Amino acid sequence: MISKVTAILFATAASAISLSPAHAQEAIKIGIDASYKPNAWVSPNGELTGFEVDLTKAVCAEIKENCEISNVPWDGIWTALDTSTIDMVGTTVTVSKTRLEKYDASRVIYKVGYAFLVPADADISGGIPSLKGKSIGTIVGTEPYYVYIKAMLGDDTDIRGYDSPDAAVLDLDAGRIAAFMNDGQQLQYQFISTGKYKLVEKPNFDSKFVGAGRAWFFRKGSKELVDKFNKGLDAVIASGKLDEIGMKYLNTKFTTP
């Protein structure tokens, strides 16, 4: 009888240890839009993979935090952050004044340029000005893209928003839009590399459009969490891990501010 009581007490104690804060660390919830290969996509076995996924995992490992990464579509990712469904937007997002007024941001991770994509047989002898008066596609809700298109082609430009690059390019192929505007890095990897498309001009890196670069975003008042992730990013960048992940998925090394 005594041995049975002892066994029960031991099992109860062991259970308490496993549920203590040290062993039951609350996960940091991170949302990544997995519709932008090679940045992030869902593999055939259902797992999230890609540049942004690996970078997030590398930083979480560096800061020794339990991170829960989930696929959150772009059109709902900010609502998920606002409602605390997630704690961080793990899709790297362009830093803009408007976003910084509403959210906290990590350090800038890397910079990209903006560009217009057209079919390989399109006449682009007139450069970007030749797109004036035509319908232009871009990613819905991405304010800096809309600002750039209007600055290049006029405030009255017919801008059509899409949930993903693939959806936009389907309309480009069908002739429903004249060009698709997005970041040059994404366009190069996903579309130019196929030989079916080309850029109207080289990507534009003017900071008045592309801003300081791309970062991760958090709810306002998340200074402690931001500082923690910045420390992890600094370590990952200094170790060369960012370049390693960049070469793996994008065949490029990043220049970071």
What's the structural domain count of the chain? 2
Whether residue 169 is found in the same domain as residue 130: yes
pLDDT at 52 (0 to 100) = 96
**Domain ranges, residue 126:** 114-210
> For residue 118, what are its two tokens?
């057209």
pTM to 2 decimals? Answer: 0.67
pLDDT category at 255 given cuts 50, 70, 90 is low
Average pLDDT over the chain reads 88
Please check whether residue 20 lies inside any domain of the structure.
no
DSSP code of residue 123? -
pLDDT tens per residue across span 130-184: 999 999 999 998 888 999 999 999 999 999 999 999 999 999 999 999 999 998 8
Whether residue 216 is found in the same domain as residue 200: no
pLDDT category at 9 given cuts 50, 70, 90 is very low
Whether residue 54 is found in the same domain as residue 80: yes
HSE-up of 22 (CA within 13 Å, CB side)? 4
> For residue 111, what are its two tokens?
């910079």
Q: Which long-range CB contacts under 8 A does 48-57 form with residues at least 24 apart?
A: 50/249, 51/245, 51/246, 51/248, 51/249, 51/250, 52/90, 52/91, 52/92, 53/90, 54/245, 54/248, 54/249, 55/109, 55/236, 55/242, 55/245, 56/30, 56/32, 56/90
Please check whether residue 44 lies inside any domain of the structure.
yes
Sign (positive or negative) of CA dihedral 206, 140, 59, 65: positive
